[in-house]
Chains A and B, each alone.
Chain A
Amino acid sequence: MTPATNTDPLKMPARWPDFALFLLLLSLPIVGWIALTYPPTLASQGQASRILFFHVPIAWVALYAPCLAALSGGLYLYTRRETFDIWSLASARIAFVFAIGVVFTGGIWGSVEWGVFWSFHDPRLMSFAILVLTLASYFLARWMTEDKRRAALYGAVAAILAAVAALLTWFAIRLVTPDLHPGPVIATMSPKIRLSFWLSVLAFHFLFLALLRASIRHERLRRKAQELSLNLGETR
C-alpha cells in the first residue's frame, strides 16, 4: 500500500488540527471562566442568563455549518471533485450535532424561564426544527443511496436546502414577531456582556474548526479504507 500523497491543493495543511486544537484548549477554559464571572447577572433571569455564552455560539455554528456544507455541495455539483463532497459531509455532520445541541440546551433553559420546553407557535423554534429535519434528510438521502456518486449528488442538493433552512432560521426572529424566543439582543447588551459573548463566539469557532478538521480526516480515511478494501477484494 502506498502512503497518500499531499498533492491535492484543497487539502488543509497538516498543522491545522494542532493549531485549531491548541487555540481551542487555550480559549475554552478562559472563556468558560469569563462567562461565569465577568458579565453581570441579569436580575430577570439570574444565573440562567449565562446560557447566552453557550447556547447562542452553538446556534451560530449550527447555522454557519450548513452554509459551508451548501457551498461545498455547490462546488461538488460544479466540479464533481470528491474533496468538496467530503467537506460538505463533514460540515453537515457538525451542523447536525450542533443543531440538536441547540434544540436541547434551549429547551432545558426554556423549561425554567418560559415554563415550557417547546412552543409550536414560536418562529425561531419551529424554523430550527425544520433545519434539524432538513439535516436529517441529508443523511437519510445519502444513507439510502448505494451509488456513491449519486449519494454525493443528493447530498449536495440536500445541503443547499439545509442552508436555505439555516437562512430562514436566521431571519425568523427578524421578520416574524417571536412568541417565546427573544429577538436580536446583541445591540442591547452591556459592554461586559458583549465582550464575553464575542469571546465565547470566537472559542466556539475554534471548536468548529477543530471538529471540522477531525471530521474531514475521518471521512477521508473511511473512503480510502473502503476503496482499498474493494481493490484488495478484487485482486484476490
Chain B
Amino acid sequence: MKDTRTRLSAMMLGGVVLLSLVLSLAAPNALIANPLSAAEYLSLPDHVARERAGALSAEETIQLLADVRQQIRPRNPDLDRVYLAIEHLESLRATQIAQKRVDRLALAVGVGLLLIVAFQLWIFLDQRRQIQSLQRWIAASPGSNDEKRTTVYRGE
C-alpha cells in the first residue's frame, strides 16, 4: 500500500516537472507569435490592413513593424528616413492630442466643481443675509430694549 502511494506521488511529481518543462519551452514562442505576419499584412487591402493593425497590441505592433521594415528595406533603401519622419510627426500629434484631452478634462472637472461650490456659497451667503435681516428686525421691534438674550433659529 505504502509502495503504491510512493509510486503515485513520484509519478505526480514527474508529471508536474514535465508539464513545467513543456510550458517553459512553449511560453517564449507564444509571446513572440504574432497574429499578423509581415507578408500577410503587406498583401491585405488597405481598409482590411488598417482594421487588422488597429486590433493589435503595442508589443504585436512593434513586432509587425520590425518584420515589415526588414522585408521591404531591400526594395526601398530610404524607408527608414520616411519611417523616422512619420514617427516624429505621430509623436508630436500624440502629445498634442494628449495635452488637449488633459486640458479639457481639467476644464470639465473645474466647471463641475465651480457649479457645486457656487451653489454651496449661495446657500451660505443667503443664510447669512437672512440671519442679518432677522437681527435687524429684532433690534427694531418693540421690546428689544430688554436685556433678554434672543436665540436665532439657524435651521437646525
Contacts and interface: CB of A to CB of B under 8 A. Distances in A.
Q: Which of A218, A229, A236: most chain B Cβ within 10 A?
A: A218
Contacts of A109: 104-105, 108
A47 B98 contact: yes
Interface size class of B (residues with CB under 8 A): 20 to 34
Given A50-B105, A55-B108, A229-B137, A218 B152 contact: no
A232 B141 contact: yes
Nearest to B58: A43
Contacts of B156: 4, 6, 14, 217
A58 B112 CA distance: 9
Q: Which of A112, A217, A229: most chain B Cβ within 10 A?
A: A112
B141 A235 contact: yes
Contacts of B109: 51, 54, 105
A116 interface: no
B126 A51 contact: no
A214 B126 CA distance: 12
Contact of A47 (B102, B138, B141, B150): B102
Interface residues of A, number: 46
B153 A224 contact: yes
A93 interface: yes
Interface stretch (A96-104, A118-126, A167-175, A184-192): A96-104
Contacts of B134: 225, 228-229
26 contacts: A1-B152, A3-B151, A45-B101, A47-B98, A47-B102, A47-B105, A54-B108, A54-B112, A58-B112, A101-B115, A101-B116, A104-B111, A104-B115, A105-B112, A111-B104, A214-B120, A214-B123, A218-B127, A218-B155, A219-B155, A221-B155, A225-B130, A225-B133, A229-B134, A229-B137, A236-B142
Interface of B: 97-98, 100-102, 104-105, 107-109, 111-112, 115-116, 119-120, 123, 126-127, 130-131, 133-134, 137-138, 141-142, 150-156
Interface of A: 1-4, 6, 14, 45-48, 50-51, 54-55, 58, 93-94, 97-98, 100-101, 104-106, 108-109, 111-112, 207, 211, 214-222, 224-225, 228-229, 232, 235-236
5 nearest A-B residue pairs (beta carbon): A217-B155, A48-B101, A221-B155, A105-B108, A225-B130
